[in-house]
Amino acid sequence: MLLVALSGWNVGQWVERLQKKMPGREIVALGEPFDRRAVHYAVSWKHPAGSLANLPNLSAIFSLGAGVDFLFNDDRLPDVPIYRVVDSDLTNRMSEYVIMHCLMLLRQTRRYDAQQKEKLWDDDRFQPAASDVRIGIMGMGELGQDAARKLRMMGFQVAGWSRTPKQIDGVTTYSGDTGLQEFLSCTDILVVLLPLTPQTRGIIDERLIRGLAQNGRLGKPALINAGRGGLQKEADILKTLNEGVLGHVVLDVFETEPLPQDSLLWTHPLVTVTPHNAAMSDPDAIGALVARQIAKMEAGQEPDYRVDRARAY
């Protein structure tokens, strides 16, 4: 039996789509009555803490997202292997988001929107080329590397920063604490695609922001965070925006989600807010992945994309 344990997402829709991908399998949603001994697999997105405990035959947990930080908020999480989402549908969605916002920053669309509202024809012709702009990606995993390749194709200069060293064609790479300062000092648009772990929590703070290039062709550096809200200190982002250190910020993720009504980020003229949907998990695509993963397990093979509990990603 597969247990579907979600919060914040439409559980009925997930059960229906998962059932289509696994017609013979018994699938039950948390909240319905079920025999806890019959559960062999669980899929989770922000399951209520403790709800996966006392499942004596559970053999794996499949996260329905690429990020798994939410799992580690559960101090009664069973000690079974965890597998996460790596899927071209999700990866493409994230790269679309990153490219769209980099292009919007490059082509100053916010400014032209404002001009249109005023019926203002201000054609001062200042438009840097993509090749003048340096994009730095923090997190060079599945998502960061795909975005990097596609941004290169658009003509941007691209650099990446990760925990361990990488070699990626056409991308300047940096790693670890020692590489961070140099990476930041050559970055005009900072794209954050890191997982939230004890090491990365709060990493986007005033000090990091002040380390970004101040001599770029966009005038001031910009920040795009589509990783996790816990990576950022929102008070520091607002402070550096208001002091003119940052030129624009695009946030898909927040310290508290949904973003509270009284957050100053909602109305700040230099902030773009999206509701944590840079790359949503599509039930058809991710349902097919879960079905493939379970089929692998039942064929005696190790499923893909196992989470390293020690690293927490």
Active site amino acids: 228, 276
Question: By CB under 6 A, is residue 174 in contact with ligand NDP?
Answer: no
Q: Minimum distance from CB of 53 to ligand OXD (Å)? A: 23
Show the beta-strand stretches assigned E in the chain.
2-6, 27-29, 41-45, 60-63, 82-83, 134-138, 157-162, 172-175, 189-192, 222-225, 248-251, 271-273
Question: By CB under 6 A, is residue 276 in contact with ligand NDP?
Answer: yes
Cβ-based nearer residue to ligand NDP, 239 or 276 = 276
Q: Which of 47, 228, 233, 248 binds ligand NDP (CB under 6 A)?
A: 228
Cβ-based nearer residue to ligand OXD, 40 or 84 = 84
Q: Which residues of 213-242 are buried (b: 16+ CB within 10 A; e: fewer)?
A: beebebebbbbbbbbbbbbbbbebbbebbe
Cβ-based nearer residue to ligand NDP, 20 or 311 = 311
Question: By CB under 6 A, is residue 230 in contact with ligand OXD?
Answer: no
Stretch that binds ligand NDP, among 52-60, 139-147, 149-157, 257-265 (CB under 6 A): 139-147
CA distances from 251 to 83, 159, 222, 224, 255 (A): 27, 20, 11, 6, 11
55: alpha, beta or left, given left = phi > 0 and alpha = psi -120 to 50?
beta
Task: Give residue number: closest CB to ligand OXD.
Answer: 65
CA distances from 284 to 277, 293, 294, 297 (A): 17, 14, 15, 20
Count of residues binding ligand NDP (CB under 6 A)? 31
Q: Which of 162, 173, 232, 272 binds ligand NDP (CB under 6 A)?
A: 162
Cβ-based nearer residue to ligand OXD, 83 or 156 = 83
Among ligand NDP, ligand OXD, none, the one that 163 touches (CB under a kind-dependent 5 to 8 A) is: ligand NDP
Cβ-based nearer residue to ligand OXD, 71 or 249 = 71
153: alpha, beta or left, given left = phi > 0 and alpha = psi -120 to 50?
alpha
Q: Minimum distance from CB of 175 to ligand NDP (Å)? A: 7
Closest among 224, 225, 230 to 72, alpha carbons compared: 230
Q: Which of 60, 253, 286, 288 binds ligand NDP (CB under 6 A)?
A: 253
Helices (H), 39-87: none
Q: Which of 93, 281, 287, 313 binds ligand OXD (CB under 6 A)?
A: 281
| Alpha carbon of residue 241 to chain centroid | 22
Task: Write out the two tokens for 136.
Answer: 């730095």
Question: By CB under 6 A, is residue 208 in contact with ligand NDP?
Answer: no
Cα separation, 115 vs 151, in Å, equals 28
3-class SS of residue 212: coil
Handedness of CA 221, 251, 14, 82 (dihedral sign): positive
Q: Which of 27, 52, 195, 223 binds ligand NDP (CB under 6 A)?
A: 195
Count of residues binding ligand OXD (CB under 6 A)? 6
Cβ-based nearer residue to ligand OXD, 67 or 139 = 67
Binding site for ligand OXD (CB under 6 A): 65-67, 85, 279, 281
Site for ligand NDP, rule CB under 6 A: 65-67, 90, 94, 139-144, 162-164, 193-197, 199-200, 226-228, 252-253, 276-279, 313
